[in-house]
Amino acid sequence: MPINFTIDGKQVQGEKGETVLPVALRNNIDVPYFCYHPGLSLSGNCRMCLVRVTPAAPPPPKPGPDGKLPPAPPPPRSMLAISCMTQIADGMTVDTKTPDVLRAREGVMEFELINHPLDCPTCDQAGECFLQDHSYQHGRSHGRFYEERQMKHTKSLGPTISIWGSRCIVCSRCVRFTDEITGTGELCIVNRSDHSVVDVFPGKPLDNALSMCAEDVCPVGALISEDFKFKARVWFMKEQKTLCAGCSVGCNVVAEQVNEEIARLKPRENLAVNDWWMCDAGRLSYKQHALPGRLVEARVDGKAVTRAEAVLAAWQRLSAAGGAVAGLVSLWNTNEEMFLFRRLMKLLSAVAPMGTLEKSHGERKQFKGGFVIEGDRNPNRAGARAILGDVALEVGATAVRKAFEAGTVNALLVVSGAPELAISPEIEAMLARVKTLVVLDVLESSSAAKYAKVRLPATMHWEQDGTFVNVDGRVQRVRPVIQPPGDAAPALELLQEIVNRHPPGGSGVLSGDGVFRQLGAEIEAFRELTYREVGDLGVPARTAAQAVKA
Amino acid sequence: MSLPAYEPVLLKYANQRGMHTLEAYLAHGGYAAAKKALGMKPSEVIQAVKDSGLRGRGGAGFPTGMKWGFVPSPEKVPGPRYLCVNADESEPGTFKDRYIMEGDPHQLLEGIIITCFAIGSNTAYVYIRGEFALGAKIMEKAIEEAYRHGAFGANVLGSGFKLECTLHRGAGAYICGEETGLLTSLEGGRGYPRIKPPFPAVVGLFGQPTIVNNVETLANVPHIIERGAAWFKAIGPSDDPGPKLYCISGHVKKPGYFEGPMGVTIRSLIHDYAGGMIDERPLKAIIAGGSSCPWIAPDKIDTPLGFESLKKVKTMFGSAGTIILNDSVCVVDAMWNILRFYAHESCGQCTPCREGCGWLAKIFERIEKGGGREDDIATILEICDNMRGKTICVLADAAAWPVQSILDLKNYPDAAVFRPEVEAHIREKRCPLGKHKAVHAEMVKQKGKISPRLVV
Amino acid sequence: MSFTFTPERRAKLDALILRYPKKQAALLPALRMAEEQAGCVDFDAMEHVAEILDVSPAKVLGVFTFYTHYRRPGTGKHLVQVCATLPCALRGAEAVFDKFAAELGIGQDETTKDGMFTLKKVECLASCGSAVCVQVNDDYHENLTAETVPDLIRKLKESR
């Protein structure tokens, strides 16, 4: 049964057990807060979300057996209460903008700031700081603290995080994070009163696979990520909503770039996938975009050529093989690319063996709060299963190799969207010996690129549009964060250009969404899906259960 | 003047040497009340305490029987119930519970048995403040004796009622005297108070219904059971009855703790019990119930000490720690001292208290040292306003009350008596009583650490 | 780890743990026992306690630093804690403290070179009726004045 009550005169609805603050936020009613975090237990210590709460009026008295009305109950007493911990109730009235509420907020803001160093000009949090935002909106215009400030420690808490203690507002979010989400409990608050500050036990640093989320939950600039420290002012960065591809979970992220360099990833809330978290390895995976030795020009037989020349050469050589063509595609390529890959392979040969390339598995880790890092370190295995089929996924690469060794294959198309794929010595040997090798790849050092006769520089998922299907069968968008380097182009485009060479020829190159719609027309798992429908948070594949079948 | 005729109840034996042993306690009829209570129905015990009008002696003065009545029935909330004895006596000016525990611990233990029986609890914890090493030793011994006597254990005094009692030593934190802070501390955490509701009677220690009672409150319980609610109600004022331990400290000749009926006047406490003012110097201010209480002026000296009577003069009875200040005291200096206490003891959880207590202390220090600013009083009052009622527990309020009581003319009439002295400090940029040298300007110059705006 | 409870203390602690429905509740008493054994609570002791009670060492550190009455490493043999809160201050706590400081040649939170005395100003000891109160280790010394301080120091020195 939904609970109906009013906030600032607006009728709102919530579920039993909810508190006022989330309901207000859901209804776009601005209530400032520091210590509240939807993913953590309630603490109620910052006092910023104070609102005026008036309980529902008691029902009017009913006449007693003697027919007389008992005295009316006293009207409910309204009081200031923190909205994050006030249970909602039918008929209650909440006011978030009464003068006393505004005064209380101003008071809390002033208290938060008296011992704060106000070092915004050198603070990495500046621009995305709750203190700054709330101070601007709810704070006083001038200070009146003429005393000596309370200083607290600045130190490293672990390999990834340091603390600027004087900025700490002791909201305890980070402590709750290590207690409740990672279960590792490295953080604590030491001392009391205005000496309170976050710390670790000596010799037990904050060092777990999710440690950098502690910086995310810090609403101010107290916890600072060593990776991002002094790197960029946040207001110069451009944001893009995309995915982490580090494992098959597909954590939703915001990637931010400055000058075509990705500066950092931050987890993006998605309750169906990663809640508010992501692992450190995934967060630092953006560094791959800047690996040295990116492919930046097309080559045919070792000679630099234009993209069009290389595309033509690719088509000519593959089609010249007379159907003795096989293909390998990486599990880091998007659904759209896999789909085009499949189409091209079909055009080239009725029986073309297809296989997949992938990164080696790692350890699966589950945390106290439920967050999981999957052992499968490839983002699109489920997509490959849906598009290429179980056979290609499970035994495809072996089949390709056997066909090559049996002499039924003498041309090979390799499409890769990531560095550091695990290539077995047998596959490597095949790459070295196959007569025709057309490669779409990203790094010069990759085995495929090394032996390629026709080599087209492709993109990583940071540089392109597309979709992945995660381990739970959820179709999610990746979006371009930065421009591809040099002449590199998404396999999405390159594969279409190659396909266009097929008689009668064509010149159209569809966008990601265009290919996705075609995919939806052909493959059940994506039936009638569009990018708009997939949106920022993704949708379950139509055949989710089948898609994730082990 | 003479002392009112009164036969001590709580301290009848506590002040005699060697009365802390079980043997002595039994010799004067100890544990008879517990036996009597165990033969009653729990609801009858609660009713007797309700009828007596006993109010909590820990500070808030909440009716004890009513509090016990809040424990939900086992059908509603199954699982264990707990009694936590608040022996974390730490309100400046208060030092009564200590003497009960050191002098007559079995009286408290008997109260624990009766209370646990009434609220259906089989487990009691006595949370004693860390500094009371002697009290802890004596209590530990007494609990051991009580176990041996069969007053605790699987079959309390042969009644079949089961009760385990454990002494739990704190480690130096005023906030653990706040009932929910005590619970968090007892569970092995930082003594952070919890948000109410839910109240401990419903969700308390380890998430179970819990009653937290002060030592003196519980020490009264056996007497109520033994002699009846009517006897209790006849002591002192009928709306606020019972025997009471008074603590008096500060500028009196014989400071200490005394037992009397509720409602002894401040004058009587000073002159009859405590031998009058030191050197007969004039009274300057009265802190009636412990350092959190709003100050009152000397003209309130005839106010009876009680929860209701002191409310009428805009202060509180608190934990009955009366502090007497004579004319040698500098108001600013004394307030700075009080605020230092709260700044030191704030648990640091809620922003207004964590930051506000320290800020107030720093302002009073500055004023005392000759750095007062014209806008200080307005700032102080606004800080108090921003602290009061904005936090999880009342420590912030406790720090703000005394400050407001000397400055806030609108809400505290007696502020008119104290405020001029603060104003004089600010105007003259020094302490008129010369308690501290006016070193502020020099400090600013030398240290340069203080906010540079101050220098301008 | 260089701190381990003696078997007797460990047995006592194990028995105490059983008196609470949750192990962690024995944290304050456990730290107290460590203090009794080693004369102070150091990081090793905290880690040992954390292990016994199944909590993270950080949790123990947070709790330890919240409470002011545990003896920190480096505390002298006699921990002199002068109550400086209002009721004692009214009766001359400042003078008593200053006398201690002068006699011992140390200031707030300092320890004498011979490791005999540590001097601290503390908040209310609940002995306001017998002010000035000074707690030396476990013992309360009440009704002190600046004049009686040297005598107390002498007694403490003799008690070694």
Please say whether the beta carbons of B140 and B20 come within 8 A.
Answer: no
B288 in the same domain as B210: no
Q: Report CB contact under 8 Å: B171, C31.
A: yes
| DSSP character string of A32-93 | --SS--TTS-----S-TTEEEEEPPPPPPPPP-TTSPPPPPPPPPPPEEEETTTPBP-TT-E
Residue C2 within any structural domain of the chain: no
Please say whether the beta carbons of A102 and A138 come within 8 A.
Answer: yes
- Which chain C residue has the Cα nearest residue A185? C56
**Could you say which of B212, B233, B254 is where a domain stops?**
B233
Q: Report CB contact under 8 Å: C61, A189.
A: no
**To the nearest whole angstrom, how far is the Cα of A173 from the nearest Cα of chain C?**
15
Q: Report CB contact under 8 Å: B92, C125.
A: no
Query: Residue A520 in 3-state DSSP?
Result: helix
Where are the alpha helices (H) located in chain C, listed in sequence order? 7-17, 27-38, 43-53, 57-66, 86-90, 93-104, 149-158
Rounded CA-CA distance A158/A169 in Å is 20
- Which chain A residue has the Cα nearest residue B351? A46
B452, pLDDT greater than 50: no
B383 in the same domain as B283: no
Strand bridging mode C117-122 / B243-250: unpaired
CA-based nearest residue to A160, from A102, A70, A225: A225
Please say whether the beta carbons of B193 and B184 come within 8 A.
Answer: yes
Rounded CA-CA distance C7/C17 in Å is 15
- Residues in C touching A187 (Cβ below 8 Å): 58
Q: What is the DSSP letter of A361?
A: P
CB pairs under 8 A between A and B: 107
**Could you say which of C26, C41, C66 is where a domain stops?**
C66
CA triple B101-B104-B106, angle to 5 deg: 90
Residue C73 within any structural domain of the chain: no
CATH number at residue B294: 3.10.20.600
- Residues in B touching C130 (Cβ below 8 Å): 95, 255-256
Please report the pLDDT score of residue C1 as a whole number: 55
Strand spans (E) along A278-324? 298-300, 303-305
Strand order of the β-sheet with A252-258 is A238-243, A252-258, A261-267
Please report the pLDDT score of residue A71 as a whole number: 81
B401 in the same domain as B306: no
Read off the tokens for B74: 């086992």
Please report the pLDDT score of residue B443 as a whole number: 82
B211 in the same domain as B111: yes
Q: B108: which residues sit within 8 A by CB, 6+ positions away?
A: B85, B100, B101, B126, B139, B215, B218, B219
Is A194 an interface residue toward B (CB < 8 Å)? yes
Residue B372 belongs to domain spanning? 331-454
Is A78 an interface residue toward B (CB < 8 Å)? no
Partner-chain residue, chosen from B187, B338, B345, that has the shortest CB–CB distance to C86: B338
**Could you say which of B267, B298, B326 is where a domain stops?**
B326
Is C1 an interface residue toward A (CB < 8 Å)? no
C60 in the same domain as C18: yes
pLDDT in tens, B288-298: 999 999 999 99
Q: Report CB contact under 8 Å: B351, A46.
A: yes
Query: Mutual orientation of helices A491-500 and A335-348 as an angle, nearest 10°?
Result: 20
Give the other-Cβ count within 10 Å of A79's Cβ. Answer: 13
C58 in the same domain as C108: no
CATH number at residue B68: 3.40.50.11540
Q: Could you tell me the end-to-end alpha-carbon distance of chain A, in angstroms, rounded to an integer?
A: 39
SS3 string, chain B, reads CCCCCCCCCCCCCCCCCCCCCHHHHHHCCCCHHHHHHHCCCHHHHHHHHHHHCCECCCCCCCEHHHHHHCCCCCCCCCCCCEEEEEECCCCCCCCCHHHHHHHCHHHHHHHHHHHHHHHCCCEEEEEECCCCHHHHHHHHHHHHHHHHHCCCECCHHHCCCCEEEEEEECCCCHHHHCHHHHHHHHCCCCCCCCCCCCCCCCCCHHHCCEEEEEHHHHHHHHHHHHHCHHHHHCCCCCCCCCEEEEEEEECECCCEEEEEECCCEHHHHHHHHCCCEHHHCCEEEEECCCCCCCEECHHHCCCECCHHHHHHCCCCCCCCEEEEEECCCCHHHHHHHHHHHHHHHCCCCCHHHHHHHHHHHHHHHHHHCCCCCCCHHHHHHHHHHHHCCCCCCCHHHHHHHHHHHHHCCCCCCCHHHHHHHHHHHHHHCCCCCCCCCCCHHHHHHHHCCCCHHHCC
C149 in the same domain as C86: yes
Rounded CA-CA distance B57/A374 in Å is 58
Residue B10 within any structural domain of the chain: no
B341 in the same domain as B313: no
Is A145 an interface residue toward B (CB < 8 Å)? yes
Residue B91 within any structural domain of the chain: yes
Query: CA gyration radius for chain A?
Result: 29
**Could you say which of C66, C100, C116 is where a domain stops?**
C66
Q: Report CB contact under 8 Å: C125, B131.
A: yes
The B residues from 358 to 417 touching A (CB cutoff 8 Å) are 358-359, 362-363, 366, 371, 373, 375, 379, 382-383, 385-387, 389-392
B323, pLDDT greater than 60: yes
Please report the pLDDT score of residue A378 as a whole number: 95
- Residue A189 parent element (H or E): strand A187-190
- Residue A137 parent element (H or E): helix A130-138
Please say whether the beta carbons of A367 and A181 come within 8 A.
Answer: yes
Please report the pLDDT score of residue A68 as a whole number: 82
Residue B11 within any structural domain of the chain: no
Q: Report CB contact under 8 Å: A104, B375.
A: no
Q: What is the mean pLDDT of residues C20-40?
A: 96
Residue C105 within any structural domain of the chain: yes
pLDDT in tens, B131-150: 999 999 999 999 999 999 99
Residue B404 within any structural domain of the chain: yes
C108 in the same domain as C84: yes
B454, pLDDT greater than 50: no
- Residue A328 parent element (H or E): strand A325-330
Residue C94 within any structural domain of the chain: yes
Query: Residue A157 in 3-state DSSP?
Result: coil
Q: What is the mean pLDDT of residues C78-91?
A: 96
C148 in the same domain as C83: yes
Q: B172: which residues sit within 8 A by CB, 6+ positions away?
A: B129, B130, B131, C67, C68, C69, C70, C122
Please report the pLDDT score of residue B17 as a whole number: 83
Q: What sign does the CA torsion over A527, A532, A533, A538 have?
A: positive
Q: Which domains does chain A show, CATH number per domain? A: 2-55+77-112 (3.10.20.740), 144-289 (3.30.70.20), 294-547 (3.40.50.740)
- Residues in A touching C56 (Cβ below 8 Å): 184-186, 188, 201, 204
Rounded CA-CA distance A382/A385 in Å is 5
The amino acid at residue A304 is A
C148 in the same domain as C89: yes
Partner-chain residue, chosen from B134, B185, B250, that has the shortest CB–CB distance to C28: B185
CA-based nearest residue to A466, from A415, A520, A513, A519: A513
What CA–CA distances, in Å, run from C133 to A528, B278, C125, C141, C150? 82, 19, 7, 6, 15
CATH number at residue C43: 1.10.10.1590
pLDDT in tens, B224-281: 999 999 999 999 998 889 999 999 999 999 999 999 999 999 999 999 999 999 999 9
Any chains having at least 3 CB pairs less than 8 A from chain C are A, B
- Residue A223 parent element (H or E): strand A223-225
Give burial (CB, 10 Å; 0-12/13-18/19+) of C30: buried
C44, pLDDT greater than 90: yes
Please say whether the beta carbons of A475 and A534 come within 8 A.
Answer: yes
Rounded CA-CA distance A384/A337 in Å is 10
Give the other-Cβ count within 10 Å of A512's Cβ. Answer: 23
Residue B360 within any structural domain of the chain: yes
Q: What is the predicted ipTM?
A: 0.96
B190 in the same domain as B56: yes
Strand spans (E) along A403-450? 411-415, 436-441
The amino acid at residue B310 is L
Residue with tokens 């996938």: A273
Please report the pLDDT score of residue B442 as a whole number: 84
Q: B434: which residues sit within 8 A by CB, 6+ positions away?
A: none
- Which chain B residue has the Cα nearest residue A34? B351
pLDDT in tens, B91-102: 999 999 999 999
CATH number at residue C86: 3.40.30.10
Q: Could you give the count of Cα atoms lying within 13 Å of A370 in the half-sphere of its Cβ?
A: 8
Rounded CA-CA distance A464/A460 in Å is 7
Please say whether the beta carbons of B243 and B261 come within 8 A.
Answer: yes
**Low-confidence residues in chain A, pLDDT < 70:** 544-550
Mean pLDDT, all residues of chain C: 95
CA triple A115-A116-A121, angle to 5 deg: 150
Q: What's the total number of domains in chain C?
A: 2
Q: Report CB contact under 8 Å: A46, B389.
A: no
C153 in the same domain as C107: yes
**Could you say which of C39, C66, C93 is where a domain stops?**
C66
C137 in the same domain as C83: yes
- Give percent above pLDDT 90 in chain C: 97
Rounded CA-CA distance A312/A454 in Å is 10
Query: CA gyration radius for chain C?
Result: 18
pLDDT in tens, A383-392: 999 999 988 8
Question: Within its chain, how far is the Cα of B204 from the centroid?
Answer: 20
Q: B26: which residues sit within 8 A by CB, 6+ positions away?
A: B149
Q: What's the total number of domains in chain B?
A: 3
Residue B5 within any structural domain of the chain: no
Is A318 an interface residue toward B (CB < 8 Å)? no
Residue C23 belongs to domain spanning? 7-66
Residue B2 within any structural domain of the chain: no
Strand bridging mode A303-305 / C139-141: unpaired
B280 in the same domain as B374: no
B371 in the same domain as B268: no
Residue B4 within any structural domain of the chain: no
Rounded CA-CA distance C30/C16 in Å is 9
Residue B344: pLDDT band (50, 70, 90) is: very high
**Could you say which of B191, B212, B233 is where a domain stops?**
B233
B375 in the same domain as B269: no
